Amino acid sequence: MSGQKTVTPDADGLVASITAAKTRGLPPVHLWNPPFCGDLDMRIARDGTWFYQGTPIGRPGLVKLFSSILKREEGKYFLVTPVEKVGITVDDAPFVAIDFEADGTGELQVLTFVTHVDDVAVAGADHPIRVERDPETGEPSPYILIRADLEALIDRKSFYRLVDLGSHHDGWFGVWSQGQFFGIIPSNELP
């Protein structure tokens, strides 16, 4: 359309679009495919802190709102509304799993994780746990899939608690949840 003004994406515009499209629960971002409007100066640090224009976003409700419209496509992260899609930077994983509950033991154990933005995921076939190891230091980085290709880095205290629940299975040391075994490290690499 001629005469239409080009708008630079900003956080206020996203908030207005989210509010207008507000639904119960998480918005159906997987159904939204609006045009790409450019990159927004927004970044999620490895510790889960959200930054806008270099400044931490200090309002937890606003962070939770933005996290509800987060989408990953081809390894890139976007905030998506029904009418716009903007790119953001994610240093590692977009979420941090800050705690979990363990019910049961052994193969019957169920691990329920909660993130810093109150997402809940029960580890299992739909929400697998994986562990990446730094090739130089060997330091583990554990993750759980939260939703639609979006993972949470499991924080250190929770990871140590997971290790305390671990057992050996098929040559691996790891944890069980919902009948699924998630390997953390090969058994032969343990001290």
Q: What is the pLDDT of residue 3?
A: 43
Residue 15 has pLDDT above 70, yes or no: no
User: What pTM, to 2 d.p., does this model score?
Assistant: 0.86
Average the pLDDT over each of 21-25, 26-30, 91-95, 128-132 and give the range with the smallest value: 21-25
Residue-level pLDDT at 7: 47
pLDDT at residue 190 above 80?
A: yes
Poorest-pLDDT segment among 26-30, 58-62, 96-100, 175-179: 26-30
Does residue 5 surpass a pLDDT of 50? no
Is the pLDDT score of 66 beyond 50? yes
80 C-beta neighbours (distance < 10 Å), count = 24
Beta strands 55-56; 150-154: pairing state: unpaired
Does 91 have pLDDT greater than 60? yes
> Helix crossing, 60-67 with 11-20: angle to 10°?
70
